[in-house]
Amino acid sequence: MPRPLVIAAAQLGPIQRAHARPEVVSRLVSLLQGAHAMGAQLVVFPELCLTTFFPRWFIEDRAELDAFYERRMPGPDTQRLFDEARRLSVGFCLGYAELCEDEEGGTVHRYNTSILVDTSGRIVSKYRKVHLPGHAEHEPWRRFQHLEKRYFEPGPGWTAVRAFGGVVGMAICNDRRWPEAYRVLGLQGVELVLIGYNTPVHNPPAPEHDRLGDFHNHLVMQAGAYQNGTYVVGVAKAGEEEGCEMIGGSCIIAPTGELVAQCVTRDDEIAVARCDLDLCTSYKRSVFDFAKHRQPHAYRMIVERTGAILPPSSPSDPTEPSA
Ligand code: CDV
């Protein structure tokens, strides 16, 4: 039985530091309304999409840093988005910086978070980014910082939920480069993975990768989709933000691994596709029937080892690889 779901990738152009929350939320509401007019039932927004991408700065003042985080969701600025989505009966996925205190009220936690909101405005799933890229200390030699390791702590992992007539999971930006993220969701039968991202064109530690940013973006998400028999929706915050150029390429990928819709600008733009979630089934029942074909005994190293350990050196091949 077909299970059609009309999904919109709601790409954002840059958000500058001077852009206040109400202005940004107005853009999100416009995208939501535009997507609804195109028939969308679920709208996917990017990572950290309520502010500029603040990990590009080393910020020592606590109050200045805290201003980039949300303490409540919905909060005073975002309530409007929830209300409009409920009025239109559209669900959405939204990325933001989350600041919370633990249950004893003592310790403050900071996460790079995405939420999934159903058509009645209820948060049905929350995901906290696991793979935090970049560095924890100020590195002034870089053209811009990438201080996610300083400003966030890693989340506990990926939990899929039943929503929108299928099985839905989320990942955030750098997670999309790691096959483990998709496979953990794949092992929960995921049919739709929602991923927001902020990806600078320039990679300070490896500038030789700069020309490949768009290619790698699609490569990893198309592989994740096909290898797990799932749709993947990748959504950028793109364009030149505070002097830092970021890739676009927001897209919707079918379980075939093919792109079915794609943004072509680096500005606010909507790409829509009618996704039949049942298309996942033929992959999950054949080449990627996990229960029938996976061999976990051979994968133990994946969870027991973090970094690579090379085989012992051999007299017949004395070269020392640099890995
Ligand atoms: N926001 C990110 O996670 N960005 C990383 C960059 C630093 C490479 C990414 O994987 O796109």
Q: Does the structure show a pLDDT above 90 at 90?
A: yes
Ligand 1 atom 3, closest CA: 174
Mean pLDDT of 144-172: 98
Residue 44 CA, ligand 1 centroid: distance in Å: 18
Does an H or E element contain 260, and which? Answer: strand 259-262
* Ligand 1 lined by 199 (C-beta under 6 Å): yes
Domain ranges of the chain: 4-304
Residue 143 CA, ligand 1 centroid: distance in Å: 15
Mean pLDDT of 300-306: 98
Q: Are strands 161-163 and 166-172 parallel, antiparallel or unpaired?
A: antiparallel
Residues 92-126 pLDDT 10s: 999 999 999 987 778 999 999 999 999 999 999 99
Q: Could you tell me the strand order of the sheet in which 42-44 lies? A: 123-128, 108-117, 91-101, 42-44, 4-11, 269-276
- Residue 321 — pLDDT band, cuts 50, 70, 90? confident
Q: What is the pLDDT of residue 323?
A: 60
Report the amino acid identity of residue 129: K
Q: What is the share, in percent, of the chain residues with pLDDT greater than 90?
A: 95
Residues 70, 50 contacting (CB under 8 angstroms): yes
Residues 273-290 pLDDT 10s: 999 999 999 999 999 999
Gyration radius of the chain over CA positions: 20
Mean pLDDT of 160-178: 99
CATH of domain 4-304: 3.60.110.10
143: exposed, middle or buried (C-beta count within 10 Å: 0-12, 13-18, 19+)?
Answer: exposed
Mean pLDDT of 263-271: 98
Q: Does the structure show a pLDDT above 80 at 268?
A: yes
For a mutational test of ligand 1's pocket, the pick from 199, 208, 217, 237, i.e. the residue with the most ligand atoms closer than 8 A to its C-beta, is 199
- Residue 319 — pLDDT band, cuts 50, 70, 90? confident
CA pair distance 187, 160, nearest whole angstrom: 9
Chain centroid offset of residue 37 CA = 25
Ligand 1 atom 10, closest CA: 174
77: exposed, middle or buried (C-beta count within 10 Å: 0-12, 13-18, 19+)?
Answer: middle
Predicted TM-score of the model (pTM): 0.97
Q: What is the pLDDT of residue 101?
A: 92
Residue 314 CA, ligand 1 centroid: distance in Å: 37
